[in-house]
Amino acid sequence: MSVPAKQGRITPKRIRSMKDGQPIVCLTAYTTPMARLLDAHCDLLLVGDSLGMVLYGMETTVSVTLDMMIAHGRAVMRGVKNACVVVDMPFGSYQESREVAFRNAVRLLQETGCDAVKLEGGEEMAETIAFLTTRGVPVLGHIGLMPQQVHTAGGYRSVGHSDEESAKLRRDASAIGSSGAFAVVIEGTVETLARELTAQVEVPTIGIGASSACDGQILVSDDMLGLFNDFTPRFVKRYDELGQRVRKAAEDYAREVRARQFPGPEHTFKRRS
């Protein structure tokens, strides 16, 4: 399968220009090897705080730290030549004030070399996003289901089912769309509402559990590849079952080691004469 040629690294400005154009392809990446595998096929790679659950076995993303995001952001940047790289701002790193958000966003940009940061929140975070963007920090917004608010939301659940929720999401989309964010993630939102929000805002929308009408789509790579098997959200399509392949490879390896079939002569070193 051929991959379309890309002219240099994709920037947030270029992502912004893709509204109503060719759908924006996004996936998560947390490590250098995975970034290298995904880079040529993606417009945007997100170093998501989902790494807390996917890589570290945490129950939520709330315990993820800024230092963790910086470490994984650096790792992903080592593997990227084409995609725009966005790093999540973890819980507690931006909610206190605009100034705290700016300091932590600058740390992410300076210490990882990433292209932009992402933060969760609707109308309540629009002023912070405007503060960051007017000071040179590109921001990807995030509305709808917001994993960092799992405790106040009472769990992970789709949103937009009531008139009240729908009205709030319309206000959120309008506020983020006008805040200076170059795009906005819409997560876990009723399809018809996500479609409406995409038509409502002037910046690209990136859906996850939203609508095919969104300007782009994102999935957690480990979900999409069948590596993270504890729970599969409704909105995930498995494009492979690598978890099963890993288990089979480990089973074959263990059997050969126990039978002394591995290593064979071809895997060992002979003394030089």
Residues making up the binding site: 49-50, 88, 118, 120
CA dist., res. 253 & res. 203, Å (int): 50
Give the closest residue to 143 by CA, choosing from 205, 101, 93.
205
The CB-side HSE value for 2 (13 A sphere, CA atoms) comes to 3
**Nearest 5 degrees, angle CA 118-CA 27-CA 143?**
40
Q: At what angle do helices 98-112 and 66-77 cross, to 10 degrees?
A: 30
CA dist., res. 125 & res. 132, Å (int): 11
CA dist., res. 121 & res. 118, Å (int): 10
Binding-site annotation: residue ranges for Mg(2+): 49, 88, 120
Q: What are phi and psi of 90, to 5 degrees?
A: -75, 165
- What single string gives the DSSP state of each residue in 134-201? TTT--EEEEEES-GGGHHHHTSS--B--SHHHHHHHHHHHHHHHTTT-SEEEEESB-HHHHHHHHHH-
Which of the residues 165, 187, 241, 251 is marked catalytic?
Answer: 187
Count how many residues are written for the chain: 273
Alpha carbon of 235 to those of 16, 58, 63: distances in Å?
Answer: 25, 21, 24
Q: Is-catalytic flag, 202?
A: no
Active site (catalytic) residues: 187
